[in-house]
Amino acid sequence: MNIEYLKQHKTKALLSVAIPSIIAMLLETVITVTDGYFIGNYVGESALAAINLGLPVLYLYLGVGLCAGVGGSVISGKFLGAKDRENASKVLSQTGVTALAFSIAVSLLVVLLFAPILKVLHADGELFGYFTAYYRIMLFAYPLMIMSTILGMFVRVDGKPQFCMLVSIVGCVLNAVLDYVLVAKLNMGIRGSALATLTVQIITTVLPFAYFFGKGRTIRFCKFRFDREVNREMIFNGSSELIGEMASAISMFAFNYVLMKYVGTEGVAAFTILGFAVYGYSMIAIGFGQGLTTPVSILWGAKEQETAVELRKATNRILLCIGFVFALCFLVFGRRYAVIFGCSDEIAEMISIGFRFFTVTFLIMGYDVINSMYFTGCGDAKSSALISSLRGIVFLLIFIFVFPAIWGMNGVWLVTPTTEALTAIISLVLIRRQANSLRKG
């Protein structure tokens, strides 16, 4: 990535890296919504609720993948900024091996936690059947998802985000076809959806893996000697992403517990369907964040901090505009959106009310996500981890157990907007502190 080009064409350079990442992340959202559409219309609301009960499992895997991927790609990006291709390639190789070991450990942990999760959530009968049928297959898909995520981040470091976008397009199209065949035509139910996801993950892992054996790559797989310092820095740099996803796992578990306690299966289904929309916006924010992290790490390695700051500001402005569009669209068409998933009028009304609360979330969430990933790119893991822990654990858990007890389902909808707003205040303080430090040299 050319540093002079970054300095002279900041917004254009940002979009050239971020847009393929955003498209790739949005296609991941399309995959999730497609699964939700077929499951909601051909299996039922209870199946949707069962998948949502197991989302903490997904966030656990994502935490491991993002920690290794973001942390390792930042180190590799700094080496490239210093024109050290050999060490950048060694970091790629070590990150891949480390992530594989982590994913095996997570799989063993999840197997042990299977029964306790269902017992605590009081998920029995139909929910139990759907949960076990789906996640027994997904335990094979999620480790592949970790590897494809990490490899995609290093492809972006290598300067080829378009390749990641093409892989995502292949995965998105294939997933829709397989969902249609396995769920709608062959009536394989929730197992069919899981098998479709597993097949897609196999293909989207093999393609970026093969990429690094092609000609003309700046970084590639190579022999390396295991360096504890690299792993330590990798985990430290990726700690905010790990905290963020672990927080999502904990908060989703808490949300499901509270929803089952105060509302029931209908509340879980409503939360799942509205969550698809929030997930879509968060994928856009994360896509911009991934597009921002790589150039920021390179600029920081080249001592061009001022340009990195300007890139962050441009990204925040763009996401504010996108958030406004999301808020307006779902405020007006929220109920129509809910009906797509074949839910009852009662659940559709819950979702429509939920979007009124989430207007604030769409306007603020991007600011928190971008600032956290920006600090990761700078190598300031402490500030990044603080933002992630506040929005994902501290504020969120306090409000999850307080608001629904007072206001029921409206309290559930109020949790996330309040959390994002308070985190944004802390995030602004951290940004200003860094600005003061840069002015003082």
pLDDT in tens, 150-167: 898 888 888 887 888 889
Record the pTM.
0.73
Check whether 78 has a pLDDT greater than 60: yes
pLDDT tens, position by position, 327-375: 999 999 999 998 888 888 888 999 999 999 999 999 999 999 999 999 9
Report residue 170's pLDDT band, with 50, 70 and 90 as the boundaries: very high
Report residue 413's pLDDT band, with 50, 70 and 90 as the boundaries: very high
Q: How high is the pLDDT of residue 195?
A: 95
Query: What is the rounded CA–CA span in Å between residue 65 and residue 52?
Result: 20
Report residue 247's pLDDT band, with 50, 70 and 90 as the boundaries: confident
Q: How high is the pLDDT of residue 313?
A: 92
pLDDT tens, position by position, 280-300: 898 899 889 878 887 888 888
Surface-to-core class of residue 431, CB atoms within 10 Å of its CB (0-12 exposed, 13-18 middle, 19+ buried):
buried
Q: How high is the pLDDT of residue 121?
A: 67
Whether the CA torsion 307, 311, 316, 318 is positive or negative: it is positive
- What percentage of the chain has pLDDT greater than the value 70? 97
Query: What is the rounded CA–CA span in Å between residue 8 and residue 313?
Result: 16
Is residue 179 within 8 A of residue 194, CB to CB? The reply is: no
Check whether 394 has a pLDDT greater than 80: yes
Whether the CA torsion 259, 263, 269, 273 is positive or negative: it is negative
Query: What is the rounded CA–CA span in Å between residue 52 and residue 347?
Result: 15
pLDDT tens, position by position, 44-65: 878 888 887 777 778 788 788 8
Q: Is 68 helix (H, G, I), strand (E, B) or coil?
A: helix
Report residue 139's pLDDT band, with 50, 70 and 90 as the boundaries: confident
Check whether 223 has a pLDDT greater than 80: yes
Check whether 16 has a pLDDT greater than 60: yes
Please state, in angstroms and as integers, the Cα–Cα distance from residue 129 to each residue in 49, 136, 164, following that order. 12, 11, 35
Q: What is the CA radius of gyration of the chain?
A: 21
Query: What is the rounded CA–CA span in Å between residue 118 and residue 112?
Result: 12
Nearest 5°: CA angle at 252, between 18 and 280?
Answer: 30
Contacts of 22 by beta carbon, 8 Å cutoff, 6+ apart: 283, 284, 287, 288, 291
Average pLDDT over residues 412-441: 92
Q: How high is the pLDDT of residue 441?
A: 67
Q: Nearest 5°: phi and psi at 266? A: -60, -40
Q: How high is the pLDDT of residue 165?
A: 81
Is residue 280 within 8 A of residue 18, CB to CB? The reply is: no
